[in-house]
Structure 1
């Protein structure tokens, strides 16, 4: 069986994701579609609106054959590390292709851009470092560096968020010389950061904005969601009484910061250049997560970077925790969240050829990476009432979901 990989977050799974699944199957001709999905916390540092198990059920019901979990230490990272963890996970499970959505929609532009970057690496790095020293954030400094080597033109604009992620996927494949053919489809009808729902295909950002703080799913949000996602959103809300957002965690994260020393804060992954002082100082007179981020944010400290830092503070993820994994050549395991009958057939044929363990539960497995995953899960469910919290965490110890 031939498999095609998808790198996803499904926060939540929407009509655009359903289109991506259908188009990826058609473009790759694959028998099995395998999604590697961020777990409790996402690439931009946000808590997932509903947990990974309910998102897995929606994805499997909507056309994915296997859903794998991207470990926390790769999921809550910059695009390059996020891409490397995702691509290596899909490589270990044996995919022939990875198909991603992009503003470009032309894979040759990505591979040609990789060649340009390889040829002009010294110019790129020099420009990048110059801009970083001027106090620019990494994404902004990268934008200038890409412009300098000619990779911000309309035909391959690496200032666009999906192009940036797609380029990171292609770079991870080509850097490690993996036997994977990248494919891309054009992202349609909406932009990554669109704030408003204007049709049946809308950005996840606009859908979350329409959902958070509401008692139920509005007609506007429902118009951009498949029925399976509506069912899972409602099921989760009924059980947990919440759709997760950072404001739910404000009191917990504020308590953590107020009771940590500056040295303890400085040891947290992502807290660099004296950021611990700024976090402590602004904590004294802030009353909401949104207000807190606004007080800390600068050109260097972007909203996304700060959200990641707060995720690492909440989960107590240190620089030492992360460093030993981000330099590894591959992932230490592949975690299965769920599968269909097709996915089960694929795994039965593939797992004997895997070089790393295939696991499906946190129970009975000793691993530092899994202990970090366990902390992330406890942190994620911490805002749910204790009796229900225990039941939600118990999902981590159960067999994979079968659809």
Structure 2
């Protein structure tokens, strides 16, 4: 059996994801699709709408064969490290290819962009540093430097101001830097862009648009047109148990306690917190009782909303600079859900895996990365502020990989 990989968050799984999955099967013509999926906290620095187990079941019910968890340290990282962790795991799982959605839709453009930036690496890095000195955010500095470097090129290049193009570039970059034989493929994103609101005249909406509807108090039936039935049922089941969805507004009271019980010196040791942001965060937590007003006080031109949210995620999980610097690549493969085909594939490659395969965390709980995953899962359920959420603390020890027919 040949496998292709996809890198996902499925927050939640919607019709655009289904399109990507179906087109991936057509484009690669492989037997198995493996998804490396973020756990309970995501790359944009926010809690997942529903937990990793629920999202993995949505994925399997809609056609993915095997879902593997991307460890917390990579799932909540900047784009380059997020991509590195995910591609490393897909390579370790013997995937012959990986396929990502992009606004660009042309693999040649990604390859030529990687070639350009590799060739002009020193010039590119110097330009980035110069823009950062002007006080703009790191992502904006990257884009400005890229625009400068690319002006003289006649090749077809990727627009790196687009969110999926940025991730796609880093996937291609990671595969090259890891000297992987895994072959990249891309599929053009259709209808809804990454941050677009949901449009009732369409059947595809962004995950951002779907979440916005739910957070605004819309009933799950209002997102019916944008999601496959297994995803809708998953959301309904979740809401019937937990009564609400994961969000920073829901988690903020707990986050606020964690901030205010820390000293500013302790906050400065948390991963991604730099340039005195610990002072702004602590001061805002003293006065603001809701997340939106808290964020409005601490946002700045220097740091993107996403970067600040990642700081807050790391405060919430107590993930420090020392821990971050101690992590290079994923140290295990952890399945969350699979169907019979995915199970058979995993069995067929099990003896050749270079990483330990973790089905039950109790046997490998001393792994530092796994400890982070377990803690992040427990804190996620506590953040839901429900008795059912509290009962889920420790569930990583009790939950085996889900096998669906």
Question: Given the two structures, how large is their TM-score scaled by the length of structure 1?
Answer: 0.96
CA RMSD of aligned residues (A): 1.5
Residue 311 of structure 2 corresponds to: 309
Contact 2:377 2:393 in 1 (8 A): no
Residue 401 of structure 2 corresponds to: 400
Residue 288 of structure 2 corresponds to: 286
Q: Equivalent residue of 1:300, what SS?
A: coil
Residue 350 of structure 2 corresponds to: 351
Q: Equivalent residue of 1:124, what SS?
A: helix
Is 1:211 aligned to 2:214, yes or no? yes
> How far off is 1:284 after superposition?
2.0
> How far off is 1:339 after superposition?
0.6
Cα deviations across residues 314-371 of structure 1 (Å, max 9, x unaligned)?
111111111111xx3x321011001111101111111110111011232231211111
Cα deviations across residues 60-85 of structure 1 (Å, max 9, x unaligned)?
01010000000000000110000000
In 2, distance between residues paired with 1:25 and 1:241? Answer: 36
Residue 95 of structure 1 corresponds to: 95
Contact 1:4 1:28 in 2 (8 A): yes
Residue 325 of structure 2 corresponds to: 323
Q: Equivalent residue of 1:191, what SS?
A: coil
In 1, distance between residues paired with 2:385 and 2:356? Answer: 32
Greater mean alpha carbon deviation, residues 336-345 or residues 278-287:
278-287
Is 1:183 aligned to 2:182, yes or no? no
In 2, distance between residues paired with 1:215 and 1:363? Answer: 40
Q: Equivalent residue of 1:53, what SS?
A: helix
Cα deviations across residues 75-102 of structure 1 (Å, max 9, x unaligned)?
0011000000000011111101010000
Residue 237 of structure 2 corresponds to: 235
Cα deviations across residues 42-64 of structure 1 (Å, max 9, x unaligned)?
00001000001011111001010
Question: Given the two structures, how large is their TM-score scaled by the length of structure 2?
Answer: 0.95
- For 1:2-401, list aligned pairs within 5 A: 2-150=2-150, 155-198=157-200, 199-214=202-217, 216-219=219-222, 221-325=223-327, 328=328, 330-365=329-364, 366-382=366-382, 383-386=384-387, 388-391=389-392, 393-401=394-402
> How far off is 1:196 after superposition?
2.9
Question: Residues 387 and 167 from structure 1, CA distance in 2 versus in 1: closer, same or farther, beyond 3 angstroms?
Answer: closer
In 2, distance between residues paired with 1:388 and 1:285? Answer: 27
In 1, distance between residues paired with 2:204 and 2:104? Answer: 18
Q: Equivalent residue of 2:361, what SS?
A: coil
> How far off is 1:393 after superposition?
4.2
Cα deviations across residues 124-178 of structure 1 (Å, max 9, x unaligned)?
1011001111111111000001101117998521111111000000000011210
In 2, distance between residues paired with 1:81 and 1:111? Answer: 19
> How far off is 1:15 after superposition?
0.2
Aligned length: 399
Greater mean alpha carbon deviation, residues 352-361 or residues 164-173:
352-361
Question: Residues 345 and 299 from structure 1, CA distance in 2 versus in 1: closer, same or farther, beyond 3 angstroms?
Answer: same
> How far off is 1:394 after superposition?
2.0
Question: Residues 396 and 59 from structure 1, CA distance in 2 versus in 1: closer, same or farther, beyond 3 angstroms?
Answer: farther
Question: Residues 50 and 387 from structure 1, CA distance in 2 versus in 1: closer, same or farther, beyond 3 angstroms?
Answer: closer
Cα deviations across residues 164-194 of structure 1 (Å, max 9, x unaligned)?
0000000000112101100000000111110
Contact 1:381 1:389 in 2 (8 A): yes
In 1, distance between residues paired with 2:394 and 2:75? Answer: 19
Greater mean alpha carbon deviation, residues 393-402 or residues 269-278:
393-402
Contact 1:216 1:234 in 2 (8 A): no
Q: Which runs of 5+ in 2 are unaligned?
A: none
